[in-house]
A and B are shown apart, each in its own frame.
Chain A
Amino acid sequence: MVATALAEAVTYPAAGAALDIEQVSHAFDIDGTELPVLSDVSISVEPGEFVALLGPSGCGKSTLLRLVAGLDKPRAGRLREDEERIRRPHPSRVVVFQDPTLFPWRSVWDNVALGLEAQGILRSQGQRVDAALDLVGLASFRNAYPHQLSGGMAQRVALARALVNDPKILILDEPLGKLDSLTRITMQAEIVALWQRKGFTTLLVTHDAEEALVLANRVIVFSERPARVKADIRVDRPYPRHRGDPYLADLRRQILGLLGLDATW
């Protein structure tokens, strides 16, 4: 169903960007004491790759995403998008956060229009908002306010709000973390379909190994804080993937082992 909906949707000119994370370290000041969160992280992402970042809770994955988005500056190291240094946020790198963080005073349509409005191109490109809402299947909710939406619908709106900007890198910070398991599975399929269709580079932070394996073609496993790259695993399986695939089950066991959970799984 999703695939047919996508086939009918409007096409944008889009392609992913390459992302280079070079020897990045970062730390927080908490009451005067330095808390290191990232330690010498280097990752090189090809254009159009779907990379999942997996690691224990609180290890600094989300911090890395904020650095990629340009919301924070790293203490050391460099981040580059298509060879260009990342210094500040740019709509070519859009984040979908764990909470949809829709603006409650704006209707669904106005929320999705946010990026175009901020860049001053809403007047000429307003039809992109409708196209993005079609893409996530919420065209009939354009006039609803966020409080009238379910959790899954709100997260779809957040996804549309990101996609309307035609990002080169889509940054997903546990976007499905708070959804029920059924909505989650549906939206995982939708995300894969969107990614295949648009070709943007995707970074997904998750702590669900299965989700990482079903979605990504590369899984990077982080250590405990301060996060270091522990393993870089290529997932060479065609889409749509099956959760019961023995190859994926094997990888999953391997990843959980890296995370220190082999005794129980």
Chain B
Amino acid sequence: MSTYSLSDGLASGAPRTSRVALLASWIRESGVGVLASIAWIAFGLSCLWWQDVGDWSRTHSLGIAAFIIAAIALFGTVGADYLGSAGQALHKRAPWLVALGAFLTVWEVATAKFAWLPLPFFPPPQAIIEVYTDDLPKLLDSVFASIKLQLGGYVIGATIGFLTGVSIGWSRAVGYWVHPVLRFIGPLPATAWLPIAFFTFPSSWSASTFLIALATGFPVTVLTWSGVASVSNAYYDVARTLGAKPSFLVLKVAIPAALPHVFVGLFMGLGASFAVLVVAEMIGVKAGLGWYLQWAQGWAAYANMYAALIVMSLLCSGAITLLFAIRDRLLIWQKGTVKW
């Protein structure tokens, strides 16, 4: 009886269920992509539907751009099978596209259209786009100035920190002299040196480089040192019985074994040096994104501040990503032994 009714139900319902299942699977596959497209259409409409409460020149272009993104999302989703890896990349990021489109819509409506958020302090998206199109040369100059300062200070600080760390980890005599100095000066925030540095150094650029190097150097030193100090004696024993000289023990045993620690120091140093960079640029250096922020604040140009903040966060996260990539390359041997 039960068998009969089951097969009967299957037979009569089969065509309908398969169509519904097909639709369900299509929605599962492409629903988010279509939703992303809808969200960006909503953003485009929110730009063009109402009048702006203020005077912004890029509203129309922004609306058009939103429609273009919506179209790309839609066609990318529908034609995902023909787009290969690009289609897959879009599929993976579709939920973020939905969230971003929704956020921009709300932002647009809350600022440019109805001014629910107090206006000069919360500029609409088109005001920020306007900064990127109209104030680009100045912004780019600031970006390059920041990168130059940051890179110089970081490389100097990381190099000195690494060499110091290896020396005090390896040699008791060096440790005797350097360790107390490190203990005394290291924990001091590098920004505390700002006033002195800007008076004693010949230029604000050299003063800032010194401060950034200082902020980088301390964590790199300490972690390199602890890395070298924690290398197992068994490694040294093995190398010594195989005929290794002291230089080999340092370069081919101690340093490679300590490298995972060194990278922790490099990451900490990078974070610390960003803070010093911005403060130094705000106070003493007459260039860079920190200075741009300060300058924009002076003119109450809030859109410029947000624009500079976005660029700054892209730069900082880009630097971290780059350091990760270098680490992944150098420490490929760790991949199977620790969780990344």
Query: Would you call B240 and A105 a contact (CB within 8 A)?
Result: no
Q: How far is the CA of A145 from the CA of B333 in the complex (A)?
A: 7
Main secondary structure of the interface of A (DSSP, over half): loop
Does the CB pair B253–A89 fall under 8 Å? Answer: no
Q: Does B144 contact A (CB under 8 A)?
A: no
A71 at the interface (CB under 8 A from B): yes
Q: Give per-residue flags for B246-258: 1 if the beta carbon is below 8 A from chain A beta carbons, else 0.
A: 0010001100110
Q: Give Cα A118 to B250, complex, Å.
A: 12
Is residue A165 contacting chain B, with contact meaning CB distance below 8 A?
Answer: yes
Chain B residue contacts of A95, Cβ below 8 A: 237-238, 241
Tell me the residues in window 102-126 of chain A with beta carbons closer than 8 Å to chain B beta carbons.
103-107, 114-115, 117-119
Q: Could you tell me how many residues of chain A have their Cβ less than 8 Å away from some Cβ of chain B?
A: 27
User: B242 to A103, Cβ gap below 8 A?
Assistant: no
Complex-state Cα separation, A115 to B243, whole angstroms:
6
Whether the pair A105, B257 counts as a contact (CB closer than 8 A) is yes
For B309-340 the 0/1 string (1 means CB < 8 A from A) is 00000000000000000000001011011000
In residues 194-251 of chain B, which contact A (Cβ within 8 Å)?
232, 234-235, 237-245, 248
| Interface size, B (range) | 20 to 34
Does any Cβ of B come within 8 Å of A99's Cβ?
Answer: yes
Q: Do B243 and A103 have beta carbons less than 8 Å apart?
A: no
- B333 and A104: CB pair below 8 A? yes
Q: B243 touching A147 by the CB < 8 A rule?
A: no
Q: Is B259 an interface residue (CB 8 A)?
A: yes
Asked if A93 lies at the interface with its beta carbon under 8 angstroms from chain B, I say yes
Q: Which residue of A lies closest to B247 (CB)?
A: A118
Given contacts A101-B235, A105-B257, A105-B259, contact A94 B337 (CB under 8 A): no
Output the least CB separation between B258 and chain A (Å). Answer: 10
Is A97 among interface residues, defined by CB-CB distance under 8 A?
A: yes
Given contacts A103-B238, A103-B257, A105-B331, 16 further A-B contacts (CB under 8 A): A89-B240, A89-B243, A91-B241, A93-B241, A95-B238, A101-B238, A104-B334, A105-B256, A105-B333, A105-B334, A114-B238, A117-B252, A118-B239, A118-B245, A118-B252, A119-B243
Q: Enumerate chain B interface residues (CB-CB to A < 8 A).
A: 232, 234-235, 237-245, 248, 252-253, 256-257, 259, 331, 333-334, 336-337
20 contacts between A and B (CB under 8 A): A69-B241, A71-B240, A89-B240, A89-B241, A89-B243, A90-B243, A94-B242, A97-B238, A101-B234, A101-B237, A103-B235, A104-B333, A105-B256, A105-B257, A105-B333, A106-B333, A115-B242, A119-B243, A145-B336, A148-B336
